[in-house]
């Protein structure tokens, strides 16, 4: 009989859109766990398992209902039922973009990952833009980047691939590599990375023959990614937790900066986003604001190691509210 694991012991949320993708996720588990009772307000159906030391909860979108809204609903209910999730992964199939240029070669079965660049956080929502007089679409907004801990693990895997002189993954980001339908509903509210196996071309050449293989390649990459995070976490578990909290803090500042149209945030990967947002909120011509730091329980992260407290803005027109679960 499969053992039962408490909801608070799950640290990774895995979201997929199709049953074939959920089946691929199940095949990657080192151990499968028993089902848990569902919460009254949660309509998701979950499967549970372990990859390495990570307890993983997997949810699939309702049958026949895909897209950003459904993905956002599934992720929101998952976070409510499993409040201690450190990060998420959105995993499945996608349509590759053919004939980009000579330097980019997208093949069936390749894996595409939402790695950020200076202009975007790794995922671009097609309707975040406006059409100019010349017919070109200029982006007017962007979505959050994946959590830092996942990007660090991605960099480690990429360096390993380069040392082995293999090209399992194509992560060049000079243009769009893949089309999919769910990530834009998650990136701003569910700290995650989007991983897609290429199953066809995103044009008239569409078929389902490669879907199972592409779903398996994406799921296999997630397993390798989680095992890399295991190695990073094993030497200092507290450091992993702080890294995730820091990533959420960074993502929140990015979202605020984009909402305020703060200049410089999307221009440079090394931009001091927290400093730019702090400066913007301290300007004399800014309106009234309320800055909420939710679940401010990690005093070391706020006051010692990263001194995030120094990035909280100070202005007579604004107020700061810190909430905590500690009494």
Residues 183 and 40 in one domain: yes
46, 218 Cβ separation under 8 angstroms: no
Residues 84 and 188 in one domain: yes
Q: What is the pLDDT of residues 89-129, one digit of tens each?
A: 888 888 777 665 556 667 776 777 766 655 554 445 444 44
5, 39 Cβ separation under 8 angstroms: no
* Token pair in block for residue 76: 């929101």
26 HSE (CA, 13 A, CB side): 13
Residues 40 and 178 in one domain: yes
Residues 98 and 158 in one domain: yes
**Domain closes at, from 179, 199, 228:** 228
- Structural domain of residue 289, as residue ranges? 237-322
Residues 193 and 245 in one domain: no
**Domain closes at, from 189, 207, 228:** 228
The reply to whether 2 falls in a domain is no
Is the model's pTM score more than 0.75? no
d(CA 96, CA 177): 6
**Domain closes at, from 205, 228, 251:** 228
The reply to whether 251 falls in a domain is yes
Q: What is the pLDDT of residues 136-167, one digit of tens each?
A: 544 544 556 677 777 777 777 766 554 443 33
**For the chain, how many structural domains are there in total?**
2
Please state the φ and ψ torsions of residue 142, each to the nearest 5 degrees: -150, 170
Residues 178 and 279 in one domain: no
d(CA 2, CA 170): 38
Residue 45, pLDDT above cutoff 90: yes
Residues 125 and 17 in one domain: yes
Q: What is the pLDDT of residues 218-275, one digit of tens each?
A: 899 889 888 877 544 444 444 444 444 566 677 778 778 777 778 776 655 556 888 8
């Amino acid at each position: 009989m499969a053992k039962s694991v408490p909801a608070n012991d799950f640290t990774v949320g895995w979201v997929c859109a199709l049953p074939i993708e959920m089946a691929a996720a199940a095949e990657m588990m080192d151990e499968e766990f028993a089902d848990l009772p569902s919460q009254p307000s949660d309509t998701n159906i979950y499967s549970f398992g372990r990859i390495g030391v990570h307890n993983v909860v997997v949810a699939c979108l309702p049958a026949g209902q895909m897209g950003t809204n459904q993905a956002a609903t599934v992720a929101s209910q998952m976070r409510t039922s499993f409040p201690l999730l450190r990060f998420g992964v959105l995993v499945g199939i996608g349509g590759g973009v053919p004939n980009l240029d000579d330097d980019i070669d997208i093949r069936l079965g390749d894996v595409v990952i939402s790695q950020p660049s200076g202009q975007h956080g790794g995922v671009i929502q097609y309707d975040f833009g406006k059409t100019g007089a010349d017919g070109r679409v200029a982006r007017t907004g962007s979505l959050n980047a994946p959590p830092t801990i996942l990007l660090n693990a991605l960099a480690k895997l990429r360096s390993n691939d380069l040392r082995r002189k293999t090209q399992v993954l194509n992560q060049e980001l000079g243009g769009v590599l893949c089309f999919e339908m769910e990530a834009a509903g998650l990136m701003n509210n569910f700290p995650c990375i989007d991983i897609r196996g290429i199953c066809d071309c995103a044009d008239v050449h569409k078929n389902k023959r490669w879907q199972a293989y592409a779903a398996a390649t994406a799921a296999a990459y997630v397993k390798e990614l989680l095992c890399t995070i295991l190695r990073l976490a094993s030497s200092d578990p507290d450091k992993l937790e702080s890294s995730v909290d820091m990533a959420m803090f960074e993502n929140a500042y990015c979202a605020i900066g984009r909402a305020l149209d703060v200049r410089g945030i999307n221009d440079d990967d090394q931009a001091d986003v927290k400093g730019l947002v702090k400066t913007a909120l301290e300007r004399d011509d800014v309106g009234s604001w309320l800055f909420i730091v939710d679940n401010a329980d990690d005093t070391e992260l706020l006051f010692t190691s990263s001194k995030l407290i120094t990035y909280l803005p100070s202005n007579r027109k604004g107020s700061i509210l810190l909430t905590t679960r500690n009494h």
